[in-house]
Amino acid sequence: MAFTDCGEVNTLFIQGQQHINRNLIKKKFVPSNAYYGRIPSGTFPTHSGFTQRGHRLHRQAPPKTQEWRKLEQDVCNTNLCEFDPETVPLNGSESYYWFPVQLDYKTDWLCLESLLFNEFPEEEIAHIESHLQNVNKEVNEEFGRTWYTHYSENKWMGLLPCDTSLEGASGDVCNQVLCGCTTEAKNYSWQFETYDNGTPNSTRLRVAVPHDQLYRVSALSLDVLDEAIIKLQLDGDYIMDDVQMFDLVVPDLKVSRQLQRQDDTLNGSYKSAGGYSASDLDRSLGVQRMINNYALRYDNRALKYSPAQTADQPLPANFDINDVNTWAVLVRVNPYIATKKEIGIGFDPNPEWQYAPFAVTNIFQPRVGSIEDVPSTNGFGSAQKAGDYGNTFSWKNPDWECNIKRDKGFWMACHRLAFHPREIELGHAFLHRLDHRIQLVDIPCDMPTKACEDEVSPYCCSGVMLDAECAAGVQENRVQLDSTPLNS
């Protein structure tokens, strides 16, 4: 609830003037950890300026045109002692830069006096603090997700032919796999837009096709993944330290099932866990499924997109593969959507997120880069700060003119982070379609109807109920007194 001056404070709570049951239902976000805590961390350098410059050394390789000398020796001559070396070029290098960024948050004001009239203020405060902790986790998770994807040098996309009916297809109609000379696995085929200050804007994504050909983007396939693996294996890198499998972060369960079907078709349903039990992989590494050489984890806040409105798309006739401004535009779809509530706003699951047509999958490699915390200081000498404003939410009730009694306050946080790009050539991200088709199962059996149940009469006892009533009823469960003498 908005306020126009410091006196109109949104208390954020249901007031207790009327009786309410002691039953507080708390809607929670479940923070994900697909990237949070997995990307290496460090500290941004101090006393050396805001923008840091680094040098990236590239690999060395022997010359490709060397000629092997034939060794010869006779009575008088030999070339065994000759030294005619080929020159191995030294490492090439290039400069790169990284810098800190900041994101500030603040809640609405809270009037402490109003809590005296609430039925259970402690639980309400605990609920707010719990949610602010989740907000903090989501901010860090989103930073890692966006900046890791942004700096991944390889951005893949499977591209189908313009007319898919011309291509041969294999598999059933619900899992059709197209192949042929006109299908492509394109690298460097999409990217985030950037803000004016050069930071990535994950809410808008550019795809290297005209917007009327977005239908050509393929779902994720093992062949496209293997294109990236071919490049990674040149560096000899399997990313998971103890398991020789690639760490694949997928957007939802359906993607993993569809990859599993592809693998079953290729390998006759053979299953391999790389010598490890599935329970061990899940418990120690968070792996939900193993497919081929991939260990799959789910990102329940994955980057998902829908095409922008036509009015926001570049004209297809102006498409130029060398001009990113003419590429098709996708816009971010968030998992929760703000909705009006009786008091204030809430966040409900967004059905558009579940059925978004595009998503991003990553082969996670920690060596792509690291997240650096920007250190804070309390000041120097006699110049000291009044308080600490770190990466977590803290309570503030400042002695401002509008808060002279200091009975109102708010929570605030200042997130300061930097992403230090390292070996960005190891980063591989995939833009792909999401297949939301649902396979239903037909049961070819008749449905039996409910069997008839005979009505059971109450007990009829001679001497208790009238004989006429018993005679009119069903004779089962009839209890009669035995009038025969015991000594007969």
- Give 323 or 406, the one with higher predicted confidence: 323
pLDDT for res 176: 56
Q: Is 247 exposed, middle or buried (0-12, 13-18, 19+ CB in 10 A)?
A: buried
pLDDT for res 286: 62
From its phi and psi, is residue 99 left (phi > 0), alpha (psi between -120 and 50) or beta? beta
Helix H or strand E segment including 138: helix 121-151
Closest to 12 measured CA to CA, from 132, 95, 172, 93: 132
Any idea which of 75-89, 158-172, 359-373 has the lowest mean pLDDT? 158-172
pLDDT digits (tens, 9 = 90+) for 333-342: 998 888 887 7
268 pLDDT above the threshold of 70: no
Closest to 42 measured CA to CA, from 343, 282, 369, 442: 369
Distance CA 100, CA 235 (A): 30
* Span 169-184, average pLDDT: 57
* Span 249-278, average pLDDT: 73
Q: Which two tokens stand for residue 192?
A: 């985030």
pLDDT for res 467: 53
pLDDT digits (tens, 9 = 90+) for 18-28: 333 444 454 55
- Tell me the CA distances in angstroms from 237 to 4, 35, 82, 184, 377, one per residue in order: 57, 19, 39, 25, 39
**Predicted confidence band at 280 (pLDDT cuts at 50, 70, 90)?**
low
- Tell me the CA distances in angstroms from 415 to 375, 393, 402, 419, one per residue in order: 11, 9, 27, 13
pLDDT for res 357: 95
pLDDT for res 59: 65
pLDDT for res 124: 73
pLDDT digits (tens, 9 = 90+) for 67-115: 777 888 887 888 788 877 777 777 666 777 766 778 888 888 877 777 6
428 pLDDT above the threshold of 90: yes
Residue 402 phi/psi, 5° resolution? -80, -5
- Give 197 or 377, the one with higher predicted confidence: 197
Q: What ranges in 211-338 are assigned the alpha helix state H?
A: 222-233, 253-267, 278-285
Q: Domains of the chain: which residue ranges?
A: 41-57+93-377+386-433
DSSP state letter for 119: S
- Tell me the CA distances in angstroms from 25 to 22, 28, 123, 308, one per residue in order: 10, 10, 10, 36
* Span 433-459, average pLDDT: 84
pLDDT digits (tens, 9 = 90+) for 319-331: 999 999 999 999 9
Distance CA 191, CA 430 (A): 11
- Give 407 or 299, the one with higher predicted confidence: 299
Residue 397 phi/psi, 5° resolution? -135, 80
Most confident of 14-18, 218-222, 270-274, 393-397: 218-222
Any idea which of 248-262, 391-405, 463-477 has the lowest mean pLDDT? 463-477
Helix 253-267 to helix 222-233 angle, to the nearest 10 degrees? 80
Distance CA 145, CA 299 (A): 10
- Give 280 or 210, the one with higher predicted confidence: 210
Q: How many CA atoms lie within 13 A of 9 on its CB side?
A: 18
Distance CA 341, CA 339 (A): 6
pLDDT for res 3: 33
* Span 239-263, average pLDDT: 81
Closest to 201 measured CA to CA, from 191, 213, 192: 192
pLDDT for res 167: 45
- Give 114 or 133, the one with higher predicted confidence: 133
Residue 134 phi/psi, 5° resolution? -65, -35
pTM for the whole structure: 0.73
* Span 340-351, average pLDDT: 81
Any idea which of 130-144, 345-359, 462-476 has the lowest mean pLDDT? 462-476
- Give 407 or 278, the one with higher predicted confidence: 407
6 pLDDT above the threshold of 50: no
Q: Which two tokens stand for residue 255?
A: 């993607």
pLDDT for res 314: 94
Count CB-CB contacts under 10 A for residue 435.
15
Q: Which two tokens stand for residue 117?
A: 């009239």
426 pLDDT above the threshold of 60: yes
* Span 114-128, average pLDDT: 70
pLDDT for res 105: 81
Tell me what percent of the residues of the chain surpass a pLDDT of 90. 21
**Predicted confidence band at 169 (pLDDT cuts at 50, 70, 90)?**
very low
pLDDT digits (tens, 9 = 90+) for 178-224: 555 667 889 999 999 999 988 999 999 999 999 999 999 999 999 99
Distance CA 294, CA 258 (A): 14
Helix H or strand E segment including 416: strand 408-421
From its phi and psi, is residue 185 left (phi > 0), alpha (psi between -120 and 50) or beta? beta
- Give 426 or 242, the one with higher predicted confidence: 426
- Tell me the CA distances in angstroms from 88 to 56, 68, 91, 235, one per residue in order: 19, 15, 9, 19
* Span 246-270, average pLDDT: 82
* Contact indicator for 426, 232 with CB cutoff of 8 Å: yes
Distance CA 409, CA 367 (A): 42
Q: Which two tokens stand for residue 83?
A: 């030294």
